[in-house]
């Protein structure tokens, strides 16, 4: 046991002497959590609309005002020619063109039917889909209003309309940081575990100190524990700083569920992630190799974890890949415990899966790590 404590002492001494690592541990969670959630905001606002009005009628103006009044749209230009607006479209100044044809009002009144033309700039896919959906909703709302207007004077009966009231559970104001911050925190902890752990071990290989260690009677498992424990502690620290520091103070996110349950899962997750770091280090000879390999894996882990895009809307094969990704589970658990307040009963399968990952990665790494070659 004294050997282990000595190995740990040495490891911490080295970590605390390395200013860039120390800076990473403290600054990274604070800066990333302050900056990223604000940028990674999926709420689409400021959609620029060009309106081409050939009609210049009461209805066409009413529709324009309705669009302008919505918080999502900004009227970029209002003109009488499609070509002028198309120019705006080409230069990316506007995202949508709504063309109101001549006799729009007339046709609507006489023929009970009129058409509108909507052109969508699909360079930014999300903006295009969301923007045209919002605009269609406004148009159909406008349509409904007109119909009511026509019916009400008849004073027969009130038009049958369905009014939908929705309530957002667990995040009532659809606050994006509430959704993103716990997820980004998981990404951070993953990076700390994988990068720091693998680079640290590979550095010993590169400098040659591992050779010097290997000719000593230090036992393999003690050496590995001496490497994993410090980064496990650092992972816990970074997480705590992010959750109870940044998330609570800057975003007002309070953990709904049980903190002990959350930390229990975090501990398990860190073991799995450190196992990945260890595994990478056994396959790399230089820090450059380890960095490339770790970067590749982390990109996949994070993009396929449901952090940015929901796993359910991925194709079937990608959903399977997400199932083999430990980050997916922790992001789910984070959101479930932090926002929803789920208990152990709801998370049993997650705990089971994470235990599996921890065992798999660590035993694979240990088998691959040989003191003698």
Q: Give the max Cα distance, the chain.
A: 98
Which positions from 173 to 212 touch other proteins by CB under 8 A, shown as an x/- string?
A: ----------------------------------xxx-xx
Q: How many residues bind other proteins (CB under 8 A)?
A: 21
CB-count exposure of residue 331 (10 Å: 0-12, 13-18, 19+): buried
**Residue corresponding to tokens 């982390």:** 298
**How far apart, in whole angstroms, are the C-alpha atoms of residue 228 and residue 369?**
14
Q: Collapsing DSSP states into helix, strand and coil, what is residue 323?
A: helix
State the nearest-atom distance from the C-beta of 352 to other proteins, in Å.
37
Residue nearer to other proteins on the CB measure, 6 or 296: 6
Q: Collapsing DSSP states into helix, strand and coil, what is residue 161?
A: coil
Which positions from 205 to 244 touch other proteins by CB under 8 A, shown as an x/- string?
A: --xxx-xxxxxxxx--------------------------
CB atoms within 10 A of CB 226: 20
Q: Does 368 bind other proteins (CB under 8 A)?
A: no
**How far apart, in whole angstroms, are the C-alpha atoms of residue 254 and residue 355?**
27
Q: Interface residues for other proteins in 101-130 (CB under 8 A)?
A: none
Q: Interface residues for other proteins in 1-30 (CB under 8 A)?
A: 2-3, 6, 10, 13-14, 17-18
State the nearest-atom distance from the C-beta of 6 to other proteins, in Å.
5
Residue nearer to other proteins on the CB measure, 17 or 155: 17
Residue nearer to other proteins on the CB measure, 313 or 373: 373
State the nearest-atom distance from the C-beta of 361 to other proteins, in Å.
26
Check residue 153 and report its DSSP letter.
Answer: G
Token pair of 173 as six digits: 């104001």
**How far apart, in whole angstroms, are the C-alpha atoms of residue 30 and residue 101?**
53
Q: Does 90 bind other proteins (CB under 8 A)?
A: no
**How far apart, in whole angstroms, are the C-alpha atoms of residue 193 and residue 205?**
19
State the nearest-atom distance from the C-beta of 215 to other proteins, in Å.
5
Q: Does 286 bind other proteins (CB under 8 A)?
A: no
Token pair of 288 as six digits: 């450059």
Binding positions for other proteins, rule: CB under 8 A: 2-3, 6, 10, 13-14, 17-18, 207-209, 211-218, 372-373
């Amino acid at each position: 046991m004294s050997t282990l404590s000595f190995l740990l002492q040495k490891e911490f001494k080295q970590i605390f002497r390395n200013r860039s690592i120390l800076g990473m541990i403290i600054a990274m969670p604070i800066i990333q959590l302050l900056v990223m959630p604000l940028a990674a905001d999926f709420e689409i606002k400021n959609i620029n609309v060009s309106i081409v009005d050939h009609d210049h009628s009461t209805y066409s103006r009413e529709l324009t005002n309705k669009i302008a009044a919505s918080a999502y749209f900004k009227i970029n230009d209002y003109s009488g020619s499609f070509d002028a607006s198309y120019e705006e479209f080409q230069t990316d100044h506007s995202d949508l063109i709504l063309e109101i044809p001549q006799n729009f009002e007339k046709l609507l009144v006489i023929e009970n039917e009129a058409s509108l033309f909507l052109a969508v700039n699909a360079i930014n896919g999300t903006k295009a889909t969301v923007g045209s959906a919002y605009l269609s909703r406004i148009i159909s709302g406008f349509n409904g209003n007109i119909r009511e207007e026509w019916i009400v004077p008849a004073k027969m009966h009130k038009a049958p309309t369905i009014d939908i009231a929705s309530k957002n559970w667990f995040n009532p104001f659809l606050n994006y940081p509430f959704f993103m911050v716990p997820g980004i925190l998981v990404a951070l902890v993953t990076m700390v575990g994988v990068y720091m752990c693998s680079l640290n071990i590979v550095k010993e290989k590169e400098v040659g100190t591992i050779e010097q260690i290997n000719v000593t009677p230090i036992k393999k498992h003690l050496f590995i524990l001496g490497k994993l424990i410090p980064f496990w502690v650092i992972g816990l620290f970074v997480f705590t700083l992010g959750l109870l520091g940044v998330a609570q103070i800057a975003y007002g996110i309070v953990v709904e569920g049980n903190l002990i349950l959350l930390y229990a899962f975090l501990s398990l997750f860190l073991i799995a992630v450190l196992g990945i770091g260890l595994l990478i280090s056994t396959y790399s000879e230089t820090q450059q190799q380890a960095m490339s390999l770790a970067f590749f894996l982390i990109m996949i882990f994070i993009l396929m974890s449901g952090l940015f895009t929901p796993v359910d809307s991925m194709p079937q094969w990608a959903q399977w890949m997400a199932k083999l990704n430990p980050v997916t589970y922790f992001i789910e658990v984070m959101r479930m415990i932090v926002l929803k307040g789920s208990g152990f009963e709801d998370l049993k399968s997650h705990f089971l899966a994470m235990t599996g990952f921890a065992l798999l990665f660590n035993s694979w790494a240990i088998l691959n790590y040989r003191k003698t070659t």
